[in-house]
Structure 1
Amino acid sequence: MASSSSPEKSRPSAFWPLAAIVVPLTGLFARIEIRGAENLPREGAYVLAPNHNSEFDPLVVAVAVWRVGRAPRFLAKESLFRVPVLGAALKATGMVPVPRASTSANQSMKAAEQIARDGRGVIVYAEGTLTRDPELWPMRGKTGAVRLALAGDLPLIPMAQWGVQQILPRYGKLRFPRRSRVIVEFGPAMDMSAYADAPTQPATLTRATDALMNRITEMLSGIRGIPAPAERWNPSQHGQNETGRLDA
C-alpha cells in the first residue's frame, strides 16, 4: 500500500464528499486487497487499463485508485455530461468526456494532451466493454488505452481485478448481503518504445493493444492461479456485438 498520497487526493476537492460515500459503501460488498500499489505513479499523468468483468467493478477500481493515493477519473460518454446532477458531478471530478463517434487519432490526441497538461490519470477499460469470454478472461482489446498513452507519451499501467463477479455477476443481479474478497493488481508501466515511431498506424496500435491484453491476462492468471486460454475470445467471431469507447 502507498505510504503517501498525491496532492490531488490530499487537497480538498469534489472527490472528498464522494469518497466519504463510495468507499464505505463499496466496503459493504468488497474486501479489496491491493497488489502492486507502487506501480501507480504518485504524481503526473498516466493511463490505467483494467479488465472488465462486472458492472460493479468500476466502483472497485475507483476505490483502489483512491486508496493508493490518486483521484480516479474515467472516460465517460459526452452525453452523460448533459444529465442534470450527474453531469455536474462528472465535471467537478474531472472526468474525461468522449463523443460517441470519437474514433479518430485526433480526438485521442486532444484528450491525451489535456490529461498530460493537467497532470491527471485516466482509467480506460482495455476491452471497451464487459468481457464476453464465458470464463471471464479478458477478450480482444480495443485500441483506446494504447492510443491515449502513445498520443500523450503517458505511462500505460495494466491492471487486473478478480472477485467482483461474486458480488455482481456479469449481466446478473447484485448479491447482498455478501462481502467478497476482491484482488486488484497494478502492473508496472508497459514499455511502449517499440511503438513510438508509428503511434497512429493501425498495425502499430493493434500490436501494442495485443501486448497490453497479454500483460493483463498474465496478471489475471496469476491472481486466479490457473492458466489462461491459449486464444483470446473474439466477439466478432462468435456472432456477438460489442460496444465501447475509443474503438479502433
Structure 2
Amino acid sequence: MGESRGSRAMFMFLASWVRPVMNALMDKEWHGQEKLPRGTGIIVCPNHVTEIDPVVVGHFLYNQGIMPHFLAKASLFEVPVIGAILRTIGQVPVERSSAGANRSLEAARAALADGGGIIIYPEGTLTRDPDMWPMKGRTGAARLALQTGAPVVPIAHWGAQEVFPRYAKRFYLFPRKRSRVLVGEPVDLSDLSDAPLTRTTLDAATDRILDAITDLLAQLRGEEPPAERWDPAQKQQKPTGRHFEAPDDGPDASPTGGRS
C-alpha cells in the first residue's frame, strides 16, 4: 500500500510553499533521522511547546520521506477548502463520541497501514510546565501503539518557541532563531503488548513515552529536567485553552514562564 496519488500531489503542493517559509523563518538543525523506522507506519510523539509545532515536525518528517498525519478536530473537516485538503492528505478527524472515537482509530490505522507517520502529542495540548518541559500526558498514543503494534518514535524539538512563544499573538523573527530536532530510538513497549488495556497499562506506556521525549529534550537544552513531571490537575490548571493559569497566578506571568 502507500499514500494515494492525490495525497502525494497535495503534500507536494503544500510543501512547495510551506518549506520555503519555514526555511526563511528559522535555521534548522536535525539529528537522529537514521533512527526513523522505514517501510512501516510509525507513531511519532513530539513535545509540545508552541502552536507552530505541527509545522516544524511536519516539515522534518516530510523531508525524510514520511508523510505526516495529524489528529485534527473533526469540525475542521467541515470548513470549505480546508476540510477537502485535510481529507485529501489523510489527516485524522477526532470526535468526542464513542462512535467518532472508533472512526478516528480506524482512520489512524489506515494511515499507519499506508506507511505514514501519525503524529500524536502525548501531552494533549501545549505544556503548562513553566519551564517548558513535557508535562503529565494522556494515553491516546499509548493506546494506538498497543492496539496496532506500530513503533513509537519519540522526538524532541527546541527553538520554535522563540519564534512564536506559547499562545503568542505575533512572531519574533529577529535575531534569526534556530529550530533543533532530535529523534530517539523507538520506545520499547514489548513487555506491555499482551497486557490488558487497563488504565495502569496505558499510564505505564505513556510515562515511558514521555520519559523518552524528556531525555531527548534534556540533551537539546543541555539541562536537567525536573525530578517530577508537571501535573496541571494538581496545579488547578485548565486542561485546554490559553487561559489555563491557576487563579492565584499573577497578571505579569511570562508567555514562556519560569520557575521561581
TM-score clears 0.5: yes
- Partners of 1:13 and 1:151 lie apart in 2 by 30
What does the per-residue CA deviation read over 1:23-47, in whole Å, with 9 as the maximum and x for residues that have no partner? Answer: 0111121212111101222322110
Q: Please point out which of 39, 45, 58 is paired with 1:43.
A: 39
Would the alpha carbon gap of residues 229 and 12 (structure 1) be closer, same or farther in structure 2, given more than 3 Å must change? closer
SS of the residue 2:233 aligns to: helix
1:144 equivalent in structure 2? 140
For residues 185-227 of structure 1, the C-alpha deviation after alignment (integer angstroms, 9 at most, x for no partner) is: 1111111111112252111000010011111001100110010
Change (3 A) 1:194 1:109: farther
* Equivalent residues, number: 238
- List per-residue Cα deviations over 1:40-84 (Å, max 9, x = no partner): 223221100000001112111111111112111111111111110
Distance in 1, Cα, partners of 2:52 & 2:101: 30
Q: Does the 8 Å contact 1:158/1:216 carry over to 2?
A: yes
Question: Pairwise CA RMSD of aligned residues?
Answer: 2.3
CA 1:33–1:9: 2 relative to 1, 3 Å: farther
Residue type at the aligned position of 2:187: M
**Match among 114, 121, 125 for residue 125 of structure 1:** 121
For residues 108 and 189 of structure 1, do their structure 2 counterparts lie closer, same or farther at Cα, with a shift above 3 Å needed? farther
* Residue among 126, 129, 134 paired with 2:130: 134
> Where do 1:1-248 residues align within 5 Å?
8=3, 12-101=8-97, 106=102, 109-172=105-168, 173-243=170-240
Q: Which runs of 5+ in 1 are unaligned?
A: 1-6
Q: TM-score, normalised by structure 2?
A: 0.85
Report the AA paired with residue 19 of structure 1.
A
Q: Which residue of 1 aligns with 2:247?
A: none
Structure 2 spans left out of the alignment, 5+ residues: 242-260
Q: Find the residue that maps to 1:217 and give its secondary structure.
A: helix
Change (3 A) 1:111 1:88: closer
Contact 2:156–2:217 (CA under 8 A) maintained in structure 1 = yes
| Shift, 1:120, TM fit | 2.1
Give the letter for the 1:38 counterpart: E
TM superposition score normalised by structure 1: 0.89
Q: Secondary structure at the match of 1:14?
A: helix
Are residues 112 and 81 of structure 1, via their aligned partners in 2, closer, same or farther at CA, if it must alter by over 3 Å? Answer: closer
Matches of 1:108 and 1:93, distance apart in 2: 15
Task: Measure, in 1, the Cα distance between the counterparts of 2:4 and 2:158.
Answer: 25
TM-superposed deviation, 1:176:
2.9
Q: 1:103 to 1:214 in 2, by over 3 A?
A: farther
